[in-house]
Amino acid sequence: AAAMPVNADLRRERAAATFQPELLTHILDGGPERTRRRKEIEALVLNDPDFQHEDLNFLSRSQRYEQAIRKSSLMVMKLREYGIADPEEIYWFKSFVHRGRPEPLDLHLGMFLPTLLTQATPEQQDRFFMPAWNLEIIGTYAQTEMGHGTHLRGLETTATYDPSTQEFILNSPTVTSIKWWPGGLGKTSNHAIVLAQLYTQGQCKGLHAFIVPIRQLGTHEPLPGITVGDIGPKFGYDEMDNGYLKMDNFRIPRENMLMKYAQVEPDGTYVKPLSDKLTYGTMVFIRSLIVGDSARSLSRACTIAIRYSAVRHQSELKPGEPEPQILDYQTQQYKLFPLLAAAYAFHFVGAYIKDTYRRISGDINEGDLSELPELHALTAGLKAFTSWTANAGIEECRMACGGHGYSRCSGIPDIYVTFTPSCTYEGENTVMMLQTARFLVKSYTQVSSGQQVTGMVSYLNDLPRQRIQPQHVAARAVTVRINDPTSLVEAYKSRAARLVESAAKNLQAELNHRKSKEDAWNRTSVDLVRASEAHCHYVIVKLFTAKLSEVSDAAVRAVLTDLCLLYALFGISRNAGDFLQAGILTSAQITQVNQHVKELLAVIRPNAVALVDSFDFHDVHLGSVLGRYDGNVYENMFEWAKKSPLNKTQVHESFHKHLKPMQAKL
Amino acid sequence: SVNPDLASERQTASFSVEKLTVLLDGGVEQTQRRRAVVEAIESDPVFSRENQYFQTQNERYEAAVRKAVHLQKKMHEMGWTENGPEYKYIYRALSGDVAFLLHRVFMRSISVLGSDKQIAKWIPLATQHKLIGSYAQTELGHGTYLQGLETTAVFDTATQEFILNTPKISAMKWWPGDMGRSATHTVVFAQLYVHGKCYGIHPFIVQIRSLQDHSLCPGITAGDIGPKMNFEHIDNGYLLLKNVRVPRENMLSKFCEVRPDGTYVRQGSQKINYFTMTTVRISLISDEVLTPLMKACTIAIRYSAVRRQSKLKPGEQEAKILDYQTQQEKLLPQLAAAYAFHFINDYLQELLNRGYREVHRKNFDMLPELHALSSGFKAVVTQRCTAAVEICLRACGGHGYSLLSGLPSLYTKILASCIYEGENTILLLQTARFLIKCFMAASAGQPVPPSVTYLAAVKPGKCPARNKLDFLSPDIYTEAYQHVAVRLISSTAAKLQDLIQSGVKKHDAWNQCTVQLVQAAKAHCHYITVKNFAETVEKLETKAGIQKIMKHLCDLFALHGIFSNTGAFLHDGYTSAAQMDMVTASYLDLLAVIRKDAVPLVDAFDFTDKNLNSALGSYDGQVYQRLYEWAQRSPTNQMSPAYERYLKPLLHNTLSKL
């Protein structure tokens, strides 16, 4: 299509920005060189005719799966052709090819191959790695079952060792034990790494991983003893053949158990692994990816909603004047700008976890694991906090686009359905929050017994000094300065300390009344989740504030400072009760906070479009008619709708089949 | 057989489930009638929804048309009529999964806006389905703000016709249901021009498709607007008009008429128009909002009683996830909300009926209050219930994400209610305008409508609760809600006045206060809901345990509202920090109490398995078996061309050559 001029409203918005969006893009990417490289890879994909296809919104699920498989095979070949090997660059390439959607080889590339590398013996790597690398073997990672997800110990699949044949016999003993959900399992994979309870010499040795062939090489038919298929339609993930797997006395050779750590000897003797700390590392890594994904998904939704709000005109603000951009309404700003601020905050948090993980995993190789427990506890909570916020935020963005947001052409429904499972997978969010809480309570207990704690929880060290004061009486002079991010970090710190203390005390009270630790924990869990949330909120405000001093360009720093303040103040406004109840802020101050939030909305307003431009999503990647860079929304909605499957024929066949006969009869 | 985990939940119910069902239906007779309708619909295979999760947009549409046509036959057979008492149960039994819903709106708009002559001409045609109607109001560029619509209808005195046009792309009609493929006629809303003068928005009946071969009429471009989050069964459409001429008689002219010479005449009161909008907003609460929420609660709570995960006590069996406090805290407030809004719906219906009677007597005094309440409650109830369904969805973990759980489609359907019939933020601002006006009147000692008399009796003070049990007293929490509503309304009114007095223009001042105004309107509706719930409980019969369990739910609803918005109640010190701890304690205690009756409380909604259409929520709780069997019937488990075309070459190794 011939390029249309950029919509005049958007041109005006961009001209009025007080900073250069490219500079902010560089910060988000991690430097101008990274931005250049990202765009280079983006161009490789977008200019490649092999990766072009019909709008996926108009395809059936089977067709979408087919497209995805087609692109995935090409992708693997081209990655090698271009010699792209850096994990982040592979991630970009994949995400441009699949436009941010999942694809059937995700588990093969992201779990099967890496698991072989980390958990297979050299002999096993010889057997499996090259065939898998060359995609003769396509594998998935089959952990979740119908009856069990986050609670791994409850998995029921069994692998019983038979020394007479030196084989493991795999079984799905109950309906609930059927493997359910693994990506790529339904139709694509011919192998799976199956997690099962290992039984040898009559004893259960817990969960272990086994390489299980599931389909015949050559015909791709399921092997005897294997029942495998697709789990059916889902909210999203149409491209992915999430599958089920039922095993019925299925035998695999002893050598198919991944034995780099634990082993079963030919006679059935079980050899224990040395340490299981290492698996922590992978979990931390994957959860850090989800934090980054929260930031990106929310950024995409904000880009669409804010650009559209700059193009859409509606109603009147001043009598007699033309209809204003809906972005000029305070209520619209109040919906969108705090989310924009959160998207930036989460970008910086994601980058922080990734850097910390890199630094610590350097230490892991040198044997220093001391920081791992805290990082593990922190990422659990941050994964939950950011994915919950982004999940709700994406929906708010969609709602802010009114009726058109509901059409698939807006792209937001897809962002939502693709993102929302991250509240569940890799650890259900409430369970994650409780993991963080466990660490917080432990740290609190240490402080109470006179020890010092370090890292992000070190604020707990101050609590005993304040304990002379009874709870809820203003513990310190109210000195919060609402224009100063550093001062707001202190306010968040006090809130976290108060809520951790209160949850820990309630837990103790329950323990004093009841017998079981689990029961007491359960009866305090709502408080514990609140404490974790407050802790995560503090960490995010702290990291965002810390980021400001690293920004050298004054104009960019100014606009990021506005966003940081908005993020912190909006959070206070929304959780005013916590700050009031703990005496950190007075009612008068809360009123000031509310007022200041509204002032900040007006301050950020002129930069709103430039701030989403800085995320630098290509239109193809954004996949939204409402969020197009050029703002030519209505013309393109019409063009898009004409391609709808219902419009394939001028008169729909239902007319001849149903309508006409009815009219004839009546 | 029923899963023992569900059977045991039912044995310990503290109240009679059947009695509660009857209460919800409004009487034994209604319950019987509803069940009879459900039975008749569900025993007919044409109405089955079992395969709907597997169908494409085209298949869904075709099925909906088929059902709509079949329904005509069925209604005839059963002796049901469009205006009969069965109709709402038919809609519920079909889960709205049927075409031609806009046909009714078409007919209603003619009945309300048309002259007697127009009614006599069109209604019989529509009743006999000689034509299929739609209702074309929304455009690409304009939704809730009707004055902004851009379609034009220019009167041509020479031919006695209106010439309808879509002057620019943003003026294209967009979204109207049944218009993309089905409708032959539609009511088009357009700016009326006579002799070069614009008279504002008026409705015109326009034929868009041939009654013979269904092809588009000259000058008409129409089609489907493409895939949406839900409503795949409805062909929401677009419509482009190019010099389409309709006779003068096609302008609906009960209130306004263009005479042959072009004279424009107004007649009667237009206020009745507002009344129609009010009626629609209130009626959607029960059909489009409460039913999906009740279904979502049923699915999530039954599943949570069947799903076992992790251990609460060492050595014991894994615990039901419903026994986790965090799971209770997710689900039980949504259940309480379903009941709270059921009773507010009764309250609004009653008000509406009174409104009808008054309007009939040409008394329009009730309309402002009705309009404000219907706007505010439409916004508050749709928003709160949409959020609630999403919570239910996510509370079911991974399996909730499967379409077979039924939850994704409930969610994507209910959330549309936040947008249609008035965008929620705009509606709340309408309510706020009414509240500010009433507050000013009350302050000046003038009389105000009944629902806002509390604004006149502002009494500063402190919450008198002394221990956590005091917070189970409706007087205590209702007054707390009232206090917050009054504070937010009065402080916003004061702020507005300050701004205006300091020289800010009225509309600017209004826009600067809109965030607060929205909060004030919500607080008002929240207060009315709590008050109404408490008053309803008071009047319930004490037999069969109904009043007691409803009292618990009322307490939970009220305390959850305080717990999740503590700032509003702590502000200005009405509630103290220590009292807030009491609220939390009482609230958490209640979760454990209501937990025991959770399954019976959703059983009372009385949805059949077919109606729920959920692998997770069925009455017998055989969740996993059902999920497994259903998934195997997915079309993706038929042989796919993807293997031959792409997978085979991939596996057979074109890659190793690289």
pTM for this one? 0.95
What pLDDT, on the 0 to 100 scale, is given for residue A563? 98
In this predicted structure, which of A436-440, B186-190, B325-329, B647-651 has the lowest mean pLDDT?
B647-651
> B515: closest CA among A339, A612, A596, A398?
A596
Does residue A470 belong to the interface with chain B, where contact is any CB pair within 8 Å? no
Rounded to a whole number of angstroms, the distance from the CA of B637 to the nearest CA of chain A is: 6
> A608: closest CA among A648, A562, A647?
A562
What pLDDT, on the 0 to 100 scale, is given for residue A365? 62
Q: A64 to chain B: which residues are within 8 Å by CB?
A: none
Look up residue A81 and give its two tokens. 């052709």
What pLDDT, on the 0 to 100 scale, is given for residue B638? 79
Question: At residue B22, does pLDDT exceed 80?
Answer: yes
What pLDDT, on the 0 to 100 scale, is given for residue B318? 93
Q: How many CB atoms lie within 10 A of CB B627?
A: 24
**Among chain A residues, CA nearest to B308:** A147
CB contact under 8 A, A654 and B61: yes
CB contact under 8 A, B641 and A408: no
What pLDDT, on the 0 to 100 scale, is given for residue A537? 98
Rounded to a whole number of angstroms, the distance from the CA of B263 to the nearest CA of chain A is: 27
Look at residue B556 and give its three-state secondary structure: helix
Give, for A168, the enclosing helix (H) or strand (E).
strand A167-171
What pLDDT, on the 0 to 100 scale, is given for residue B315? 84
CA-derived radius of gyration, chain B: 27
**Among chain B residues, CA nearest to A473:** B577
Question: Mutate which of A580, A587, A597, A656 to disrupt the B interface (most B C-beta within 10 Å)?
Answer: A580
The end-to-end CA distance of chain A, in Å, is: 48
Q: Can you list the positions of beta strands (E) in A231-293?
A: 243-247, 250-253, 263-264, 270-271
Q: Which residues pair with A270 in a beta bridge?
A: A264
What pLDDT, on the 0 to 100 scale, is given for residue B640? 67
CB contact under 8 A, B653 and A318: no
Does residue A187 belong to the interface with chain B, where contact is any CB pair within 8 Å? yes
Rounded to a whole number of angstroms, the distance from the CA of B170 to the nearest CA of chain A is: 6
Look up residue A155 and give its two tokens. 């998995």
Specify whether the backbone of A579 is left (phi greater than 0), alpha (psi in -120 to 50) or beta: alpha
- What residues of chain A, 245 to 304, have a C-beta less than 8 Å from chain B? none
- Candidate from B229, B580, B650 with C-beta closest to A413: B229
Q: Where are the alpha helices (DSSP H) in A484-614?
A: 485-513, 517-523, 525-548, 554-574, 576-581, 587-604, 608-613
What pLDDT, on the 0 to 100 scale, is given for residue A478? 55
Rounded to a whole number of angstroms, the distance from the CA of A172 to the nearest CA of chain B is: 13
Mean pLDDT of all residues in B498-503? 97
Average pLDDT, chain A: 92
What pLDDT, on the 0 to 100 scale, is given for residue B557? 98
CA distance B325 to B588: 8
Give, for A334, the enclosing helix (H) or strand (E).
helix A330-365
- Candidate from B584, B636, B656 with C-beta closest to A62: B636
- Candidate from B515, B578, B643 with C-beta closest to A472: B578
- Candidate from A62, A149, A409 with C-beta closest to B398: A149
Look at residue A514 and give its three-state secondary structure: coil
Question: At residue B655, does pLDDT exceed 60?
Answer: no
Mean pLDDT of all residues in A310-321? 91
Rounded to a whole number of angstroms, the distance from the CA of A359 to the nearest CA of chain B is: 33
> Where do we find the tokens 């910390």?
A356
Residue B185 burial class via C-beta count within 10 angstroms: exposed 0-12, middle 13-18, buried 19 and up: buried
Cα three-residue angle B286-B290-B292, rounded to 5 degrees: 120
Residue B249, phi then psi, degrees to nearest 5 = -70, -10
Please count the residue pairs, one from chain A and one from chain B, whose beta carbons lie less than 8 angstroms apart.
372
What pLDDT, on the 0 to 100 scale, is given for residue A515? 72
Active-site residues of A, by number, are 426
Look up residue A137 and give its two tokens. 């073997």
Question: At residue A198, does pLDDT exceed 90?
Answer: yes
What pLDDT, on the 0 to 100 scale, is given for residue B96? 92
What pLDDT, on the 0 to 100 scale, is given for residue A1? 47
CA distance B282 to B276: 10
Average pLDDT, chain B: 94
Question: At residue A471, does pLDDT exceed 50?
Answer: no
> A589: closest CA among A474, A472, A501?
A474
What pLDDT, on the 0 to 100 scale, is given for residue B48? 96
> B10: closest CA among B621, B624, B588, B611?
B621
CB contact under 8 A, A662 and B72: yes
Specify whether the backbone of A199 is left (phi greater than 0), alpha (psi in -120 to 50) or beta: beta
Beta-carbon contacts of A642 under 8 Å, excluding residues fewer than 6 positions away, are B223
pLDDT band, residue B657 (cuts 50/70/90): very low
Residue type, B601: L
Mean pLDDT of all residues in B154-168? 98
What pLDDT, on the 0 to 100 scale, is given for residue A273? 80
ipTM: 0.95
Question: At residue A275, does pLDDT exceed 70?
Answer: no
Pairing relationship of beta strands A167-171 and A250-253 according to DSSP bridges: antiparallel
Q: B649 to chain A: which residues are within 8 Å by CB?
A: 73
Residue B297, phi then psi, degrees to nearest 5 = -65, -40
Binding residues of B for FAD: 138, 177
Q: DSSP for B570-627?
A: HGGGSS-HHHHHHHHHHHHHHHHHHHTTHHHHHHTT---HHHH--SSS-TT--HHHHH
CA distance B333 to B592: 12
Pairing relationship of beta strands B237-241 and B173-174 according to DSSP bridges: antiparallel
**Among chain A residues, CA nearest to B509:** A317
pLDDT one-digit tens code per residue, A322-359? 999 999 999 999 999 999 999 999 999 999 998 888 88
Question: At residue A398, does pLDDT exceed 60?
Answer: yes
CA distance A588 to B387: 31
Helix then strand count (H, E) for chain B reads 25, 11
Q: A323 to chain B: which residues are within 8 Å by CB?
A: 145, 148
Q: A317 to chain B: which residues are within 8 Å by CB?
A: 507-508, 511
CA distance B498 to B516: 14
pLDDT one-digit tens code per residue, B392-442? 999 999 999 999 999 999 999 999 999 998 899 999 999 999 999 999 999
Residue type, B108: R
Confirm if A233 and B60 have CB atoms less than 8 A apart: no
- Candidate from A402, A434, A659 with C-beta closest to B419: A402
Helix then strand count (H, E) for chain A reads 26, 11
Q: B577 to chain A: which residues are within 8 Å by CB?
A: 472, 580-583
CB contact under 8 A, B511 and A646: no
- Candidate from A57, A577, A646 with C-beta closest to B224: A646
Question: At residue A278, does pLDDT exceed 60?
Answer: no
Question: At residue B121, does pLDDT exceed 90?
Answer: yes
What is each CA distance from A185 to A104, A174, B633, in whole angstroms? 8, 19, 17
pLDDT one-digit tens code per residue, B462-496? 999 999 999 999 999 999 999 999 999 999 999 99
What pLDDT, on the 0 to 100 scale, is given for residue A477? 44
In this predicted structure, which of A460-474, B189-203, B383-397, B593-607 has the lowest mean pLDDT?
A460-474
Residue type, A33: E
pLDDT one-digit tens code per residue, B184-226? 999 999 999 999 999 999 999 999 999 999 999 999 999 999 9
Q: B424 to chain A: which residues are within 8 Å by CB?
A: 399
